[in-house]
């Protein structure tokens, strides 16, 4: 697979995957199973889709629905820890795996212990900049606390150095992507960020597939085609928010055919979750109600299966090794979009 250096800063719209010879008879022959983590903390998912820990995306109803569809939902932390514990128990009552999240300040170790005792098999240390000493120390402290138990997900990072530091600290999986989310304004506000695809490729130039923590592509994934490019680059799973926020299983009511979707650094999310605003790096908006998450995930998975079949492979490991990128022009991008006129 051709890899671009981080200096080229390729985004999802800068490349297309090259169709190759295929003897795949049907998309039904494709296996989307992925494994995040290794050893006793490895988690086997029959779908590489993870629901983001956002208060308009993932609470227990979404976590249960996504898990039954093969993926994973990570409960957001902008609720009282007692409520998150209750929701972990609700997820565990309906599925075998629950994911929860904590911050990196205050009583986060106590909260993580309570969540693990309630049944959380994965705990995310949820901070905006995982390439920071506070995040690295949080991973070290949590690994020391849990030993060989509990899958620790950390992030977010945008470079191989950030990834390597979290790996050394003991993370099992790392969220990769800074500022690419559809409700995130970090790149606008701070001027910092790297395209998510470029970040993944940067890491894979230093860590081969299967080495180090699993990569969770997080940010900028708008559709199954973007997800396919991230997985081909070397991610083991993709984390999505907006794609799921308009479904019946996401938190919030449907008003005039719309649901609220907001970034967790938006003013509205901070006021609701913390009661105080400290730096706004996100927006709040409304999106169309789209019905059951089953339909969304089935269509998304069908698109991923199609991507693998066009590459001539039937599993995600081979997809990473065999996929080939083509750099494309802006005119190609325009041609790529549906352009039939009524």
d(CA 93, CA 78): 22
Sign of CA dihedral 284, 290, 292, 295: negative
Tokens 């996401």 locate to 250
User: Quick check: is 184 catalytic?
Assistant: yes
Cβ neighbour number for residue 269 with a 10 Å cutoff: 24
Neighbouring residues of 187: CB distance < 8 A, sequence distance ≥ 6: 178, 179, 180, 193
Direct distance between the N- and C-terminal alpha carbons of the chain, in angstroms, rounded to an integer: 39
Q: Which member of 15, 135, 184, 296 is catalytic?
A: 184
d(CA 340, CA 179): 32
SS3 state of residue 200: helix
For 40, counting Cβ atoms within 10 Å of its Cβ (0-12 exposed, 13-18 middle, 19+ buried), the class is exposed
CA proximity to 320, closest of 237, 251, 242: 237
Q: What are phi and psi of 36, to 5 degrees?
A: -110, 130
SS3 state of residue 208: coil
Residues counted in the chain: 342
Tokens 């973007």 locate to 226
DSSP state string for 247-286: BTTSSS--BTTEEEEE-TTSHHHHHHHTSS-----B-EEE
E-only strand ranges, the chain:
15-17, 34-36, 43-45, 49-51, 72-73, 99-102, 122-125, 151-157, 173-176, 214-218, 237-240, 258-262, 284-288, 325-327
Cβ neighbour number for residue 225 with a 10 Å cutoff: 18
* Active site (catalytic) residues: 184
């Amino acid at each position: 697979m051709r890899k671009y250096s981080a200096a080229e800063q390729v985004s999802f719209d800068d490349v297309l995957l090259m169709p190759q010879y295929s003897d795949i008879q049907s998309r039904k022959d494709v296996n989307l199973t992925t494994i995040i983590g290794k050893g006793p903390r490895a988690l086997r998912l029959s779908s590489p889709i993870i629901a983001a820990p956002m208060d308009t995306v993932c609470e227990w109803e979404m976590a249960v629905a996504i898990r039954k569809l093969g993926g994973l939902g990570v409960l957001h932390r902008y609720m009282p820890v007692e409520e998150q514990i209750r929701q972990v128990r609700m997820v565990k009552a309906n599925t075998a795996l629950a994911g929860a999240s904590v911050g990196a300040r205050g009583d986060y170790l106590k909260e993580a212990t309570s969540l693990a005792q309630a049944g959380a098999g994965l705990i995310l240390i949820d901070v905006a900049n995982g390439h920071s000493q506070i995040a690295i120390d949080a991973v070290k402290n949590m690994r020391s606390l849990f030993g060989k138990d509990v899958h620790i997900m950390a992030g977010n990072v945008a470079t191989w150095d950030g990834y390597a530091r979290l790996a050394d600290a003991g993370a099992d999986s790392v969220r990769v992507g800074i500022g690419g989310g559809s409700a995130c304004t970090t790149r606008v506000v701070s001027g910092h960020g790297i395209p998510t695809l470029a970040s993944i490729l940067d890491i894979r130039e230093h860590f081969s597939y299967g080495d180090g923590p699993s990569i969770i592509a997080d940010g900028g994934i708008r559709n199954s085609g973007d997800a396919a490019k991230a997985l081909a680059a070397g991610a083991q799973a993709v984390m999505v928010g907006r794609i799921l926020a308009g479904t019946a299983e996401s938190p919030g009511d449907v008003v005039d055919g719309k649901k609220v979707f907001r970034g967790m650094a938006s003013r509205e999310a901070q006021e609701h979750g913390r009661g105080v605003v400290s730096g706004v790096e996100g927006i709040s908006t409304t999106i169309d109600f789209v019905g059951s998450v089953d339909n969304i995930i089935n269509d998304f998975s069908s698109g991923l299966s199609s991507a693998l079949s066009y590459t001539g492979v039937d599993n995600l490991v081979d997809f990473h090794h065999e996929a080939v990128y083509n750099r494309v022009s802006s005119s190609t991008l325009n041609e790529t979009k549906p352009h039939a006129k009524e």
